[in-house]
Amino acid sequence: MNLADAKRAFEIDGFFLAKGLFHPDTMHALLRYARSDRALVDSAYVRRDATGGESKLSLRNDLDDQSPYTAIVRSQRVAGTMTHLLGDEVYHYHHKMMLKEPRVGGAWEWHQDYGYWYSNGCLYPDMASCLIAVDRATRANGCLQVLRGSHTLGRVDHKTTGDQKGADPVRVVEAAKRHELIYCEMEPGDALFFHGNLLHCSSKNESEDPRWSLICCYNTKHNDPYLTHGRHPNYSPLECWQDDRVDKVLYTLCTE
């Protein structure tokens, strides 16, 4: 990965796609682990879209060093890249596994992550997420869609749509006239780094293929929330792990 090119794309487009950030075999092992992870499956909750379609997610605010998800959150290739893209020390805000099942997986409305996080006392949009494809992501199974460069719009008001909060639909329509729509089709192990103000959504999964993905979310040290929020944490230093340690942990936990 060329970090200079990654930062340029992140600043101009609002996102950067890192192909093959993790080996596909690692993602296949992680998928097997996740599907047998009763704690993850039992804690997953449903969010309905405007038409009633259901998507599931399982969210964690804490890091467990005996967890493969934590190993990825701590990895230099993810957290270290985030530090470079955001220009400051980053810390773990939360991570979540998205479980979009065949035929029944609902849509996620157009939104900005900072459209949610603003209310948590984060003054600046200096936050970002990394979506890692655990399954293959295609148009058919509801891959992420983004509006290139839409992070430059600033924060857009969000309104409730179904069980979700979506960006003001009038502004989304106008933004779509000015910003290119990109379908982020990804292979297992690919990773999409994207800005907290980037408008993004995903369609329903109308295929026979599941789409599971791990999303690692980070805030910057200088953006430590002025509120103590019950859901997501305030700043604490994040210990980053070198890639060989991450790979060893993933191999040990996911192939036992």
Q: 3-254 in CATH: which number?
A: 2.60.120.620
Residues in the chain with pLDDT < 70?
49-53, 104-106, 161-163, 229-230, 256
Q: What are 232-246's pLDDT values in tens digits?
A: 899 999 999 999 999
Give me the helices (H) in the chain, please.
3-13, 24-35, 38-43, 68-74, 81-86, 113-117, 169-178, 243-254
Whole-model pTM over 0.75: yes
Domains of the chain by residue range: 3-254
- Percent of the chain clearing pLDDT 70 (strictly above): 95
Instruction: Identify the H or E element spanning 188.
Output: none
pLDDT of residue 120: 93
Show the tokens assigned to 58: 């399982």
Mean pLDDT estimate for the chain: 92
Half-sphere exposure of 12 (CA within 13 A, CB side): 7
Q: Please write the tens of the pLDDT for every residue from 145-200.
A: 999 999 999 999 998 766 677 899 999 999 999 999 999 999 999 999 999 999 99
Token readout for 70 is 């934590």
